[in-house]
Amino acid sequence: MKVLVYLEKAEVRGGIEVFAERHVAQLRAAGHEVEVVGDLSDVECRMPLFDGIFVHKCSDVATLEKFPPEKTTYYVHDHEPICPRTYAYTPFRRNCVRSSGLWPCLFCAPLCRSWKAALARVFAQGRRKRAMARFKRIVVISEFMKGRLVANGLPPERIVVEPPHIIPPPPPPTFHHSPFTFHLSPSTFHLPVDLLFVGQLIRGKGVQLLLDAMAMMRSPRTLDVVGTGNMEAKLKAQAARLGLTERVRWHGFHPNPFEWMRAAKCVVVPSFWQEPYGLVAAEAAALGKRVVAFAVGGLPEACHGKATLVPPGDVDALARALDGQLGDGAGT
């Protein structure tokens, strides 16, 4: 089968890009001929030649409307189809569970970004949902997201839940040099990893809440942060204000976070936004690691019952849970 996969170019390689890469690899492994594009200008005229089309990310509504409905499968990775801001939380840092429309989106969206861009997105939401409703299939990665799409008027009979298939790669080769064992992993050159955060350093990922929780913990544990983003400088300044400079290590983006997860005692997913799924939580759980996360969005599903979940945004509860997981408190 000849397949077209559309994915917008992105500066930051996040969960959407990882999911899309794995999907393309699965299609090719199954023997399909796959062409991946981020610009329709050179393939639009050839669309009839493809047997199937998979769209992983398409912010522009006019582009979305160009895909033939009868052969297009649309993957929903975030809240973009139902929120002009794409994050589904308000300027007041509260998660939004309303259906999208002129009210209240017309007043919320311009407070969060350029008003021209925000208003364009608000008025395009109806077109976006109508285009999606015509597609052959809509794929979401959690029951939580299916419920959100249905609540926003998308046809439930066309929505399929397909959680990411998590297969952690094997550990790297181990070389025995008595009395030591050396592993070819990033953690080789650092102190033992107590707490680990992997992800983009953006507001909704909640690292600022994790730093506050670390300052409240009963034991001075360390935190390794693997990732980068537009809040990195602010988070480092916050860590300094809280007296955590010596306890937080910043490593930037790393292409293989599994090795960091294997080295960690506990993986923390402090997202306060409604994660559509929570790939890091699922990967850590698949490795058998301790996971602490806020019980929000699709995170409870991603953890498969193998995590300590605390009320969303409750920093006190997060600190107690971290102490408990590391054996220094009563837990939650």
Q: What does the pLDDT read at residue 284?
A: 94
Give the number of other CB atoms < 10 A from CB of residue 46.
12
The secondary structure element, H or E, covering residue 18 is helix 15-29
Taking the C-alpha atoms of residue 189 and residue 25, their distance in angstroms, rounded to an integer, is 32
Strands 308-310 and 290-294: parallel
Q: What does the pLDDT read at residue 271?
A: 95
Tell me which CATH code domain 191-323 carries.
3.40.50.2000
Q: CB-based contacts of 32: which residues, under 8 Å, 6+ apart? A: 1, 2, 3
Burial class (CB in 10 A: 0-12, 13-18, 19+), 286: middle
pLDDT tens-digit map of 47-65: 999 999 999 989 899 999 9
DSSP 23: H
Long-range contacts from 39-43, C-beta under 8 angstroms, 24+ separation: 40/6, 40/66, 43/4
Q: What does the pLDDT read at residue 181?
A: 37
Q: What does the pLDDT read at residue 99?
A: 83
Same fold, 2-161 and 191-323: yes
pLDDT 10s per residue in the chain (332 long)? 999 999 987 555 677 888 888 899 999 999 999 999 988 888 899 999 999 999 998 989 999 999 999 999 999 999 988 888 778 877 776 788 888 877 778 878 776 667 777 788 888 888 999 999 999 999 999 999 999 999 999 999 999 999 887 777 677 655 444 333 333 445 444 567 899 999 999 999 999 999 999 999 998 899 999 999 999 999 999 999 999 999 999 999 888 888 899 999 999 999 999 999 999 999 999 999 999 999 999 999 999 888 999 999 999 999 999 999 987 544 33
Q: What does the pLDDT read at residue 128?
A: 93
- Answer whether 6's CB lies under 8 Å from 40's CB: yes
Q: What does the pLDDT read at residue 184?
A: 40
Nearest to 107 by CA among 97, 98, 115: 115
Q: What does the pLDDT read at residue 105?
A: 82
Token pair 């050179």: residue: 42
Per-residue buried b or exposed e for 24-37, using 16+ beta carbons within 10 Å of the residue's own CB: beebeeeeeebeee
Q: Which CATH architecture has domain 2-161?
A: 3-Layer(aba) Sandwich (3.40)
Cis amide prior to 179 (ω within 30 degrees): yes
- Answer whether 318's CB lies under 8 Å from 270's CB: yes
Q: What does the pLDDT read at residue 2?
A: 97
Nearest to 229 by CA among 209, 260, 199: 199
- Answer whether 207's CB lies under 8 Å from 269's CB: no
Token pair 């993957």: residue: 75
Cα dihedral 62/68/72/76 (nearest 10): 20
Q: What does the pLDDT read at residue 161?
A: 96
Q: What does the pLDDT read at residue 81?
A: 87
Q: What does the pLDDT read at residue 177?
A: 41
Q: What does the pLDDT read at residue 120?
A: 83
Q: What does the pLDDT read at residue 331?
A: 38
Sketch the domain layout of the chain as residue ranges. 2-161, 191-323
